[in-house]
């Protein structure tokens, strides 16, 4: 009987993960853990080690994340109609953190810097 119960739980969990339209709860939880929990841990570790490069990297991440969250708060009504929004948000948050893409650096430093240089000329 316990085996039957565990199969049902596994099937429900698998359906939640694989069904993109019915898994907003899972996607939201994943966004929170990837967007907040993991960066808090890495930020704490960077501060603890006194690694200035890592501190700067995570500071840029938090600036990008804060800007994104602010924009998301204002666009909430529009976003709620967008299918698979949380799946794309999850991918965006992962992209911000990846060392190979340096997404946060591109969002915070390179794009605004180029705009400021063009307008000041």
Which pLDDT score is estimated for 49?
94
Residue 3 has pLDDT above 80, yes or no: no
| pLDDT digits 0-9 by tens, 39-90 | 999 999 999 999 898 898 898 889 889 888 888 888 888 887 787 888 888 8
Which pLDDT score is estimated for 120?
64
What percentage of the chain exceeds 90 in pLDDT? 12
Which pLDDT score is estimated for 116?
59
Which pLDDT score is estimated for 4?
46
Higher pLDDT pick, 106 / 44? 44
Residue 120: is it exposed, middle or buried by C-beta count within 10 angstroms (0-12/13-18/19+)? exposed
How would residue 14 be classed by pLDDT, with cut points 50, 70 and 90?
Answer: low
Which pLDDT score is estimated for 76?
80
Please provide residue 52's backbone torsions phi and psi, each rounded to the nearest 5 degrees.
-65, -35
Domains of the chain: which residue ranges? 24-120
Which pLDDT score is estimated for 34?
86
Higher pLDDT pick, 23 / 63? 63
CA dist 120 and 19 (Å) reads 49
């Amino acid at each position: 009987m316990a085996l039957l119960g565990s199969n049902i739980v596994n099937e429900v969990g698998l359906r939640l993960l694989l069904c993109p339209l019915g898994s907003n709860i899972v996607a939201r939880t994943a966004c929170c853990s990837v967007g907040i929990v993991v960066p808090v841990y890495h930020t704490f570790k960077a501060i603890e080690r006194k690694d200035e490069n890592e501190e700067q990297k995570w500071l840029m991440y938090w600036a990008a994340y804060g800007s994104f969250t602010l924009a998301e708060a204002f666009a909430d009504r529009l976003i709620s109609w967008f299918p698979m929004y949380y799946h794309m948000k999850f991918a965006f948050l992962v992209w911000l953190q990846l060392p190979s893409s340096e997404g946060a650096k591109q969002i915070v430093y390179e794009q605004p810097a180029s705009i400021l240089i063009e307008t000041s000329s």
